[in-house]
Amino acid sequence: MVIGQEPASAPPGTVDRRTELQHLILARLPDDPDNSVRRSVAGNPHTPSGVLARLADDPDTSVRRSVAGNPHTPLPVLVRLADDPDHHVRITVAGNPATPMTALEQMAASLEAEHRQPEDQSCAQLRQDEPSH
């Protein structure tokens, strides 16, 4: 049996009660001190969007990566994670089919600027080092 799926003989309303219970449990686990528990919650497709939004701010990179890869992560959260300081999180956001094109374009522009910046700094340093005539 798959979590969240009831056998054909389940009484009416059982699925709703189980879904509600599952959401209640998932809503409490983001505070767990064990990062593997938080990572599992972040990757669970049944995790409520509000919990995913909270986990997107987790100090553990692997938890944020799980949020970034969850296909049910809300779009505003994916957009926010597109600017995450960790490149693994950003790569995971880029691979999430739910990531909006605007976030992907923003990521591409940011990456281009990052790669251009060291070159610009090198050119400026060379100009300063040139002897004046």
Q: How far is CA 27 from the centre of its chain?
A: 17
What is the full DSSP assignment across 55-119?
HTT-SSHHHHHHHHH-TTS-HHHHHHHTT-SSHHHHHHHHH-TTS-HHHHHHHHHHHHHHHHHHH
Please tell me whether the overall predicted TM-score, pTM, comes out greater than 0.75 for this model: no
Q: Which residue, among 36, 39, 50, 51, has the nearest Cα to 89 in the 3D structure? A: 39
Q: How many residues does the chain have?
A: 133
User: How far is residue 71's CA from residue 60's CA, in Å, rounded to a whole number?
Assistant: 20
For 79-130, the pLDDT digits (tens) are 999 999 999 999 999 999 999 999 899 888 887 777 776 555 555 555 566 5
**Domain residue limits, the chain:** 16-125
For 38-65, the pLDDT digits (tens) are 999 999 999 999 999 999 999 999 999 9
In the chain, the percentage of residues whose pLDDT exceeds 70 is 75
